Amino acid sequence: MATLRKLSTGKWQVQVRKQRQKALTKTFESKHDADRWARLIESEIERGVFVNFSEAEQTTISQVLTRYASEILPSKKDVGRVESRLKKLRSALGEYSLAAVTSSLLANYRDVRLREVGPQSVKHELSVLSRVINTAIKDWGIAMPKGNPVSQIRMPKLPRGRERRISADEEIKLLDALSQSVMARHAVAFAVETGMRRSEIASMRWTNINLATRAVFIPDTKTDDARTVPLSTKAVAILKNIPRRIDGSVFGVNAGSFTQAFSRACTRAGIDDLRFHDLRHEAISRFFERGLTLPEVATISGHKTWQMLRRYTHLRAEDLAKKLG
């Protein structure tokens, strides 16, 4: 049964109580609106279709972002970058309640941010917000009036992926420039042969490498899905030339050290606009040029969809022409 009372502010407060239901309270500007809401709630309860959105109305975006950072984020990868995105979301949207976050509000956030940063950054921020809201819905039991609003907006259109490939001449010059950085030289050659990420190469351990079957197991990946990468004859030869370390690490250096050595070598070799990650692009493109199928390449690279894999694949027209005959 509904109870209405007029507050000292002139507004009307209504409370709906039903058996086995938590009391619901809401305040309105007029008695008419309060009475209409009460009758609607009572009707939904009677018909068994009532969903309580009060927690979504009383919980702010700032609160769920803080809870996510405390309970969920520590077990995730790339904590630093996600924390930065949570901070930006909290600054822009933190004062809104979950129930007040609409698709139009997020579309406006998207458009404003696109004037400040690139589309990839905006997409990352919205994806983080989507994960937080999904966690609130699925794990914390907070019902949203219209579901996850992030899923109801268009994500920013991403630019075409980099098409930078390393030429045979550049590869020779780069490896020559790394002659004084033996481990970095091995890492560069290994990256071109395997398509593995810089972090995956840096964290390799001998216990996860089977030279007999020519495979390396990667237990910790960017996507959280472990995978096994086949090794070419050349990749095996590279590993055999690396002396064993007592600590079991293959290279014994961190990913940042690879980047520094790589950048300095490019400068010495006179190579412009080349990044270590471009070696992954190069390797994947070469896999296709060798005739590997899409599923085979995806198994090696760890990509889950063709759309994701395509951004890393740039086939040379002249090589395709040779295959055509």
* pLDDT tens readout for residues 253-290: 888 888 999 999 999 999 999 999 999 989 998 998 88
Residues 171-196: pLDDT tens digits?
999 999 998 888 999 999 999 999 99
CA angle 128, 76, 219 (to 5 degrees): 130
Q: How far apart are CA 124 and CA 57, in angstroms?
A: 26
Q: What is the pLDDT of residue 164?
A: 84
Q: Kindly report each contact of residues 259-262 with a partner whose C-beta sits within 8 Å and lies 24 or more positions away, as own/partner.
A: 259/198, 261/178, 261/181, 261/184, 262/178, 262/184, 262/188
Lowest mean pLDDT among 10-14, 48-52, 167-171, 230-234: 48-52
Q: What is the pLDDT of residue 317?
A: 65
Provide, rounded to the nearest whole percent, the portion of the chain with pLDDT above 90. Answer: 50
Tokens standing for residue 79: 């904590």
- Give mean pLDDT, residues 161-165: 78
- Give mean pLDDT, residues 297-311: 79
Q: How far apart are CA 169 and CA 84, in angstroms?
A: 40
The residues that are catalytic are 197, 222, 277, 280, 303, 312
Q: At residue 25, what are phi and psi to the nearest 5 degrees?
A: -130, 135
Lowest mean pLDDT among 47-56, 87-96, 122-131: 47-56
More confident residue, 286 or 43: 286
pTM for the complete prediction?
Answer: 0.63
Say yes or no to pLDDT of 131 above 90: yes
Average pLDDT score over the chain: 86
Could you tell me the pLDDT band of residue 146, with boundaries at 50, 70 and 90? confident
More confident residue, 290 or 306: 290
Could you tell me the pLDDT band of residue 313, with boundaries at 50, 70 and 90? low
Q: What is the pLDDT of residue 289?
A: 84
